[in-house]
Amino acid sequence: MKITLDADKCCAAGQCVLIAPEVFDQRDEDGVVVLLDAAPPAAQHDAVHEAAAICPAAVIEVHA
């Protein structure tokens, strides 16, 4: 799995961090998403898919 972000679009909702805190974080200044792990281990994959699906700004793209 490989993750890319279009962080420009991030509205700082923080849902990704709630769902997958090992993979995503937010910048302290403005809450914009930060990628902690662009190629997370299998144990994280479900959470990452869920975060990508729920993100209200379509920021997170997951590649196989």
Partner 1 sequence: MTGLPIAVVGASAAGLAAAETLRRSGWRGPLTLIGDEPHLPYDRPPLSKQLLHGAWAPEKLLLRTTDQLAPLDLDLRLGTRATGLDVATRTLTLDDGTELACAGVIIATGVAARTLPGADRIAGVHTLRTLDDALALRSRLAKGGAPGSEGVAAGGRGLRLVIVGNGVLGCEAAAVARELGHDVTLVGIEATPMAAAVGTEVGELLAEEHRARGVRLVTGAVAGFETAPADPADGGDPRVTAVRLAEGAAPSGGAPGGSGETAPGGGRLLPADLVLVAIGSRPAVEWLDDPALDTGDGLRCDAYCAAAPGIYAAGDVARWDHPVHGRPLRFEHRMNATEQGMAAARNLLAELAPSAPAGAEEAAPAQERRPFAPVPYFWSDQYAVKIQAYGLTAGADRVETTVVDRAERRVLALYGRDGSAVGVLIAGLPPRQVRALRAVVAAPLPWEEARERIAAATAPG
How would you label 45-56 residue by residue, b for 16+ Cβ within 10 Å and e otherwise? eebbeebbeebe
The count of chain residues that interact with ligand SF4, using the rule CB under 6 A, is 15
Task: List the single partner that 53 binds among ligand SF4, partner 1, none, CB under 5 to 8 Å by kind.
Answer: partner 1
Q: What secondary structure letter does DSSP report for 56?
A: T
**33: contact with ligand SF4 by CB under 6 A:** yes
**16: contact with ligand SF4 by CB under 6 A:** yes
Task: List the single partner that 10 binds among ligand SF4, partner 1, none, CB under 5 to 8 Å by kind.
Answer: ligand SF4
Identify whether the C-beta of residue 15 lies closer than 8 Å to the C-beta of residue 51. Answer: yes
Helix (H) or strand (E) holding 62: strand 60-63
Summarize as ranges the residues that interact with ligand SF4 (CB under 6 A).
10-16, 24, 26, 33, 55-57, 59-60
